[in-house]
Amino acid sequence: MQFSILTLFPEMFTSILDASILGRARKNGHLVTRLVQIRDFAEGKHRKTDDAPFGGGPGMVLKPDVLDRALEHVLNEAGGGWVIMLSPQGKKLDQADVRRLATMAHVVLVCGHYEGVDERLVQVRADEELSLGDFVLTGGELPAMVILDAVARLTPGVLGDEESAVAESFGEGLFDHPHYTRPADWQPLHGGQKRVPSPLLSGDHAAVAAWRRRQSLLRTLIRRPELLERVAWSRQERRVIQELALDLEVMLQDG
């Protein structure tokens, strides 16, 4: 899997690319990343990458000719790629997007900055625009890091344990089940004793799987019930969801 990241601030990526799982993935060759300084493709004495917006207004806009040259260089060297503009106007990123991008050989992330990117460049070069949510950041670098991390961990060999990338939140449209570790009995500094749920201590693999599945459904039902509508459930699972919904309704009434 190869990522090219076009940015005015490549130094922002140093720590995330060298540390932890991404660092190991790059070292082992499972992940290839290239940081491209947009300013290298600007012309003139001052290497100007932005200019004032036509029509007036605050801020500066990244120049289309500079980004066009940068993209042409990157795409030619790699033999093509999927170009993503990171923008608050883009589609909100979800796990389906992450899975889709993980199947691609080369993804190019363009980090806008200042007031954004000249719209003409977006029209002629972008394959899609993506956003992290309904809020505005100072630039596209942080969204690029999030996309890089989310997509890379689905790349074979990156996590080492392929099952862990699937059996987690959104792996099949659900939130992950709660996780517990030792000690089995824990006394918080404030509050009463907390014990790990008994099914997890039973040694019964079927009971553990059933408990985890039920908790995953319940957590999704409570926090993001609309996610349940996106999955074609079996008859048995629909019955479990209905039972959980009734139990939750009773709990809320009693509470």
Mean pLDDT of 5-32: 95
Token couple for 25 = 């993935």
Report pTM. 0.81
Confidence at residue 171, expressed as pLDDT on a 0 to 100 scale? 53
**What residues does each domain of the chain span?**
2-163, 174-254
**CB 110 within 8 Å of CB 86:** yes
Identical fold at 2-163 and 174-254? no
Residue 179 has pLDDT above 90, yes or no: yes
3-state secondary structure of 71: helix
d(CA 152, CA 148): 6
d(CA 197, CA 193): 13
The values of phi and psi at residue 247, to 5°, are -60, -40
Mean pLDDT of 210-215: 91
- Fold for the domain defined by 174-254: Trp Operon Repressor; Chain A (1.10.1270)
- Where do we find the tokens 């990343």? 33
- Number of residues written out for the chain: 255
What homologous superfamily is domain 2-163 in, according to CATH? SPOUT methyltransferase, trefoil knot domain (3.40.1280.10)
pLDDT tens, residue by residue, 154-163? 998 898 655 4
Mean pLDDT of 91-109: 96
Residue 63 has pLDDT above 50, yes or no: yes
In sequence order, the 6+-apart residues with CB closer than 8 A to the CB of 157 are 25, 28, 30
d(CA 48, CA 36): 16
pLDDT tens, residue by residue, 218-255? 898 988 888 888 777 888 888 888 888 888 887 777 75
